[in-house]
């Protein structure tokens, strides 16, 4: 249990509701900033402004999955006001205070370095990333259905990347009859794709291969869908970019070409917030228990 721990949840979205339930149910004392519009009330949790918290008792800070942006701004879906977590705020917490985030950002990296605090990025964990790939793939399927005028069954679909998300996306679309090709860089991935009954491609053939696809789904967080690649796509092609910032698509050029390109960030929190929240809550609960034991 987490009794005796003081945890600040700073900003977040619908996924954090499951986390709040989990932590308060384990007797942690939880402070919520950026949640004034959340209608629910929780025992052992207080909705507060950051200036009203005695930061010297805070053991842990849980940030939105997107981390901290420039000037300390964090995403807060349940607030009409901007929420900021700055170096000055972090420096007032306990010396052993641990920050938890989905991913890191340059601003967040600078904060933990200058304040000598610890940072745990849970989306770097295989268990979280693999489980989150399920609602991500389902969300991509939903977008594909909504933004095309043909069935997914029988469509020519190209997946870029074969990591934790790419593998689940390829399997999901193949299971409903899409003709799936997966573009990769190494022979081991190509062999696994073949074993799954799909068709592997290598990036040196990408420019040629995109001319025959209806849907292109990118999972690689660097620009792989360049202007030269996009210019070879049919006009009806739908691009769904699942990659984290900076994404992998030249969106401006796609728009100029009349090709619909969707940058679908944060799909788990949009299409299955309860499931995604439970995944996040279970992992953070275990990490916080470990932190309590160590301290």
Query: What CA–CA distance (Å, rounded) separates 68 from 64?
Result: 8
Query: What CA–CA distance (Å, rounded) separates 63 from 107?
Result: 13
Q: What is the pLDDT of residue 99?
A: 98
| 218: helix, strand or coil | strand
Q: What is the pLDDT of residue 294?
A: 86
Q: Calculate the CA 164 to chain-centre distance.
A: 12
Q: Which residues contact 223 (CB under 8 A, 6 or more apart)?
A: 246, 247, 248, 249, 250
* Residue 9 burial (CB count, 10 A): 23
Query: What CA–CA distance (Å, rounded) separates 161 from 218?
Result: 7
Query: What CA–CA distance (Å, rounded) separates 265 from 285?
Result: 25
Judging by DSSP bridges, how do beta strands 73-74 and 83-84 pair with one another?
antiparallel
| 113: helix, strand or coil | helix
Q: What is the pLDDT of residue 224?
A: 96
Q: What is the pLDDT of residue 293?
A: 87
Q: What is the pLDDT of residue 183?
A: 97
Query: What CA–CA distance (Å, rounded) separates 292 from 286?
Result: 10
Q: What is the pLDDT of residue 96?
A: 94
Q: Which residues of the chain have pLDDT under 70?
A: none
Q: What is the pLDDT of residue 295?
A: 78
Do 6-124+272-294 and 128-264 have matching folds? yes
Residue 244 is classified by DSSP as: P
Summarize pLDDT for 79-103 with one digit per residue, the tens. 999 999 999 999 999 999 999 999 9
Give me the sign of the Cα torsion angle 53, 55, 60, 62: positive
Q: What is the pLDDT of residue 292?
A: 86
Q: What is the pLDDT of residue 245?
A: 83
> With contact defined as beta carbons under 8 Å apart, do 200 and 182 qualify?
yes
Q: Where are the alpha helices (DSSP H) in 176-209?
A: 187-195, 206-209
Q: What is the pLDDT of residue 107?
A: 95
> With contact defined as beta carbons under 8 Å apart, do 157 and 179 qualify?
yes
Task: Tell whether domain 128-264 is in CATH 3.40.50.720.
Answer: yes
CA angle 25, 31, 32 (to 5 degrees): 100
Q: What is the pLDDT of residue 215?
A: 98
Q: What is the pLDDT of residue 244?
A: 87
* DSSP calls for 33-94: ES-TT-----TTEEE--GGGS-GGG--EEE--TT---GGGEE-BTT-SS-EE--HHHHHTS-
Q: What is the pLDDT of residue 230?
A: 97
Architecture per CATH, domain 6-124+272-294, reads as: 3-Layer(aba) Sandwich (3.40)
Q: Where are the domains of the chain?
A: 6-124+272-294, 128-264
Query: What CA–CA distance (Å, rounded) separates 217 from 240?
Result: 5
């Amino acid at each position: 249990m987490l009794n005796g721990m003081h945890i600040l949840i700073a900003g977040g979205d619908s996924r954090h509701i499951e986390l709040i339930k989990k932590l308060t149910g384990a007797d942690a004392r939880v402070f919520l900033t950026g949640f004034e519009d959340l209608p629910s009330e929780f025992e052992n949790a207080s909705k507060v402004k950051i200036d009203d918290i005695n930061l010297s008792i805070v053991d842990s800070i849980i940030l939105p999955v997107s981390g901290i942006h420039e000037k300390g701004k964090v995403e807060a879906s349940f607030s009409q006001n901007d929420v900021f977590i700055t170096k000055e705020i972090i420096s007032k917490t306990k010396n052993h205070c641990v920050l938890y985030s989905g991913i890191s950002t340059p601003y967040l990296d600078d904060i933990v370095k200058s304040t000598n605090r610890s940072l745990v990025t849970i989306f770097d964990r295989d268990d979280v990333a693999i489980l989150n790939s399920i609602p991500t793939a389902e969300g991509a399927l939903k977008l594909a259905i909504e933004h095309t005028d043909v069935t997914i069954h029988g469509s020519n679909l190209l997946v870029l990347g074969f990591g934790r998300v790419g593998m689940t996306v390829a399997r999901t679309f193949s299971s409903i009859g899409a003709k799936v090709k997966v573009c990769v860089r190494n022979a081991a991935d190509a062999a696994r794709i073949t074993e799954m009954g799909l068709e592997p491609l290598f990036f040196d053939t990408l420019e040629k291969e995109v001319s025959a696809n209806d849907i292109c789904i990118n999972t690689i967080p660097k620009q792989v869908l360049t202007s030269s690649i996009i210019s070879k796509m049919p006009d009806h092609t739908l691009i769904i970019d699942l990659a984290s910032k900076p994404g992998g698509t030249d969106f401006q050029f796609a728009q100029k070409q009349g090709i619909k390109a969707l940058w679908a960030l944060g799909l788990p929190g949009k299409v299955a917030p309860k499931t995604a929240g439970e995944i996040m809550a279970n992992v953070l609960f275990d990490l916080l228990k470990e932190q309590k034991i160590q301290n």
